[in-house]
Amino acid sequence: MRGSRTRLTAEVLLLFAVFPPLGGCVSYSAFKDARALDPGAFRLDVAPGATVVRPRSGLVAYERQYELPRVGDLANAYFAFELQARYGIARGLDLGLKTGGTNLELNSTLQLVRRETFDVALAPALQYALGTNGDDEGWEMFLVKLPVLIDFRFGPGGDHALVFGPTIAQAIGSGNGRNSNYKPDALFIAGTVGFSFKVGVARFVPEIALYTPLTGGAVALPGSTLRVSPDLGVGKPVIVQAGLAFSFGK
């Protein structure tokens, strides 16, 4: 049993090492509930999805009123595909490693409350991401996330959960544009909402994450950046990431 687990761990680490880049993008997802894995338990998550950036209401009307050019960065959608491996270290504590190809995140689940019908946990994460337009522009960025995960259990044995994750996050980094350098930085107020359904040995976790910057200069996107306070003066962007994780393991 131990040999099989060692081989599985080695295969997962190799997969992280050779996973092909899919375009520079930051991961805003959590794809887990507030119940930490039991000691020795291992879980693998595969999660396709998409990230969409939208302006607050009023941007389109503002552009039409003043005949301004379309701000394309505020309405682009980016495909996302994430891989996450988690391992139970001790009772109430697990560690995870997640990647989307051009980002790498170390995360954890620190359980504060565990009850039959609800759980509460801190889920701090540190992520490094990079991106480029393939020409002369690129960036790198660190994202520190501090979600508080709260889940409400239901179903036989509390196998299923409705999960809320209010979050504060800080992004810092550096980038080079066509004419000048810049520093991506933003303080986010954010949150995730998802379900966790157990079906046999698998688990399905649909989730949506919403991030909007409170302060800062810019947010890094694939091949470009998005100003936190656009020159047009029409408000701050909203970043939406939605996906469905297929989870295997204990």
Residues of the chain with confidence (pLDDT) below 50? 1-2, 4-5, 7-23, 56-74, 223, 231-233
Structural domains in the chain, sorted by start: 2-249 (2.40.128)
Q: What is the pTM of this model?
A: 0.79
pLDDT value at position 140?
84
pLDDT value at position 12?
37
| Distance from C-alpha of 46 to C-alpha of 166, rounded to nearest angstrom | 23
pLDDT value at position 201?
85
